[in-house]
Structure 1
């Protein structure tokens, strides 16, 4: 009987503390509910897996068909984003081959990669679209409204990835210009991404908080990755071979898309806070869903 009363008192105390927290920090409560609504860990893992599966065929297509300058820019962007060096960089270089690679082999690999890419390349954009829709409480968009947007998003992001190293270096001026340019480009890109994948059902201004949080978070993670990812990748490659490299890259992608999902979700919550909603003219949840 004593044990039962103790458990009852502990449960009542925990419920009371939870109620106090909800009343004292309503934003935290709303953000928690939002993260649950978007299935944070499940969505981040799904996006990481889809991105990895999309990146592999694109990598082979670029290796087979792209001009040498584009291939080199893609390699430099990957090296700059992850700080690739040593054995891990050599593994990536092997995919691209050298100038003496047999053209027939490259063409065959490119055709296979192109066929796979056509079948799966939009999986990442579709998964990201679902995250945006869940964050804003919107139903799935019709295929006619959204299908072409998946391809447009993929093409723009591929161009951004190729040019990422030039942007990070400030187009030759150095990091003092490259860092602010990277932040500005990332914010604009995530602002456009949300509007595109939501099919224009949410106005531009309410999407700005999510773009700021996501853009700043992604670039900060990318710059921080240059400090610890090279050692992590080389150690994984030395201990487990190519499988270790795959595991490390997938883990990094999960962290990246966790930042993305949190940024989009928190941005939606901020945009619906009363003072911010008045300034940004955020539509009520019911009206956005109806749209």
Structure 2
């Protein structure tokens, strides 16, 4: 009994010290404490893992549908863009080319309507997961915030179009990487600015969304540059040692890293936009939830 009482007392003291430390941090560094609280409420790793898994589950049927029905020019451009995103070489490049090889009648018959429905369902699942992340980052309550389904489809359509154009963008439209990286940064900023506004249903004005979009663009662009050094070696090694299963693990792990960066960046942007200094300049405000159901 004495030992139990002693441990109970130690636990109570530790909780009290932690609470007092948190209170002191709130007074001295309010931005940091609000950011930590927001990251905890967003549940960064859980949200990122869900989005990464949904992205991967969308990519697999999408490859079959694009390979079966897309025009040759679209298939070639998408293959080149995916290769440019990851800097693929060797065995990984060969596997990608096999995925986008000219379709056969058997492939078209096997894909059919079921494949198209799988892509659509998986794609809207990604959109919904990203929407939940944006709402949590901006601390928007779920009740009364119904969103029109067309927003999910529009987001996926723009993302697919941007993915097809990644090759020319990263190459600076033939000029070189020195121009491609700034173009990528500007493009990603515009994309994530629009993404937040679209998936939040206009609850947040455009200006307060800009810090999160800019931070996300920097994070994504930095990871895309890093991917050129890491992904080719990792994928080729995984294919040589474990086959296709190894490449699945590498791709999913990389997607989780990217999604964690996205979740942190959007949350940091939301917290900064709600700080007094930026609130006065950006006019940060949240529309009443009941107005979102009509959008």
Q: TM-score, length-normalised on structure 1?
A: 0.90
Residue 85 of structure 1 is matched in structure 2 by 89
Give 1:273's match in structure 2, choosing from 272, 275, 283: 275
Q: Secondary structure at the match of 1:146?
A: coil
Answer yes or no: is the 8 Å Cα contact 2:145–2:290 preserved in 1. Answer: no
**Root-mean-square deviation (CA), in Å?**
2.1
Structure 2: which 5+ runs fail to align?
Answer: none
1:47-81 per-position Cα deviation (integer Å, ceiling 9, x unaligned): 00001111111111111111112111111111111
Count of residues paired in the alignment: 285
1:59-112 per-position Cα deviation (integer Å, ceiling 9, x unaligned): 1111111111211111111111112111112222221124xx5x3123124424
Shift in alpha-carbon separation, 1:60–1:14, aligned structure 2, 3 A: same
Q: Secondary structure at the match of 2:165?
A: helix
Deviation at 1:20, TM superposition (A): 2.9
Give 2:133's match in structure 1, choosing from 126, 131, 134: 131
Q: Within 2, Cα distance between the matches of 1:167 and 1:117?
A: 25
Residue 66 of structure 2 is matched in structure 1 by 62
Shift in alpha-carbon separation, 1:33–1:57, aligned structure 2, 3 A: same
Deviation at 1:289, TM superposition (A): 4.3
Structure 1: which 5+ runs fail to align?
Answer: none
1:237-256 per-position Cα deviation (integer Å, ceiling 9, x unaligned): 22211111001101000011
Residue 190 of structure 2 is matched in structure 1 by 188
Q: Within 2, Cα distance between the matches of 1:8 and 1:202?
A: 41
Residue 73 of structure 1 is matched in structure 2 by 77
Deviation at 1:120, TM superposition (A): 2.3
Deviation at 1:19, TM superposition (A): 3.3
Shift in alpha-carbon separation, 1:9–1:192, aligned structure 2, 3 A: closer
- Indicate whether 1:218 and 2:186 are aligned: no
Q: Within 1, Cα distance between the matches of 2:50 and 2:10?
A: 42
